[in-house]
């Protein structure tokens, strides 16, 4: 899949871990996601893999927990946000801001209790 930015750049979405792609979640869906995690942990199901797959399978564009894709054009820095009908709306930066806002340098580690 690809998206054409208003600047003319073609934004490709054809692999995983794309540095200019992100996922955006509303506050309502975020708290629903935390509640889903709590519900699964407290469920009587002992199969941990099934719990993890249940969690993963319920997060997505048309899932119980709804998230949207967001891209940042690497040429002009516009943010392109998807709506529920897979159409993209773009937002232009005020100035010459960073063009890698969706990428993180370095990595964090999992913190277990
Ligand atoms: Zn662009």
Residue range 37-66, pLDDT digits in tens = 999 999 999 999 999 999 999 998 889 999
Q: Identify any residues that bridge with 48 across adjacent strands, giving them in sequence order.
A: none
Which among 8, 28, 11, 112 is positioned nearest to 70, based on CA atoms?
11
In a domain, 109, yes or no: no
Q: What is the pLDDT of residue 82?
A: 87
Domain of 43 in residue numbering reads as 26-66
Do 45 and 58 fall within a single domain?
Answer: yes
Measure 81 CA to ligand 1 centroid, in angstroms.
Answer: 13
Question: What pLDDT is stored for residue 29 in this prediction?
Answer: 97
Cβ–Cβ < 8 Å for 68, 23: yes
CA of 87 to the centre of ligand 1 (A): 16
- pLDDT 10s digits, 84-111: 888 899 999 998 778 888 888 888 898 9
Same domain membership, residue 96 and residue 43: no
Q: Quick check: is 112 in a domain? A: no
Judge whether 113 lies within some domain. Answer: no
Q: Which pLDDT value is given to residue 37?
A: 95
71 CA to centre of ligand 1 in angstroms:
10
Per-position b or e across 64-79, b if 16+ CB within 10 A of its CB: ebbbbbbbbbeeebbb
Domain count, the chain: 2
**74, 44: one domain:** no
Distance 92 CA to ligand 1 centre (A): 9
Distance 109 CA to ligand 1 centre (A): 33
Same domain, 79 and 61: no
Same domain? 59 vs 31: yes
Same domain, 60 and 92: no
Residue 102 Cα to ligand 1 middle (Å) = 15
Q: Is residue 58 located within the same domain as residue 72? A: no
Residue 80 near residue 11, CB atoms below 8 Å: yes
Question: pTM for this structure?
Answer: 0.84
Q: Is 51 a member of any domain? A: yes
Sign of CA dihedral 25, 110, 36, 57: positive
Which residue's entry shows tokens 């993963």? 56
Q: Which two tokens stand for residue 60?
A: 């997505």
Per-residue model confidence (pLDDT) at position 85: 83
Judged against a pLDDT cut of 90, whether residue 67 lies above it is answered with yes
Residues 37 and 62 in one domain: yes
């Amino acid at each position: 899949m690809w998206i054409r930015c208003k600047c003319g750049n073609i934004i490709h979405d054809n692999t995983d871990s794309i540095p200019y792609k992100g996922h955006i979640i509303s506050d309502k869906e975020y708290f629903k996601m935390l509640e889903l995690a709590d519900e699964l942990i407290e469920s009587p199901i002992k199969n941990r893999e099934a719990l993890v797959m249940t969690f993963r399978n319920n997060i997505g564009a048309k899932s119980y927990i709804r998230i949207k894709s967001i891209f940042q054009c690497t040429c002009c820095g516009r943010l392109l946000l998807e709506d529920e009908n897979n159409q993209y709306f773009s937002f232009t930066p005020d100035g010459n801001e960073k063009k890698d806002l969706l990428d993180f340098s370095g990595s964090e580690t999992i913190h277990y209790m």
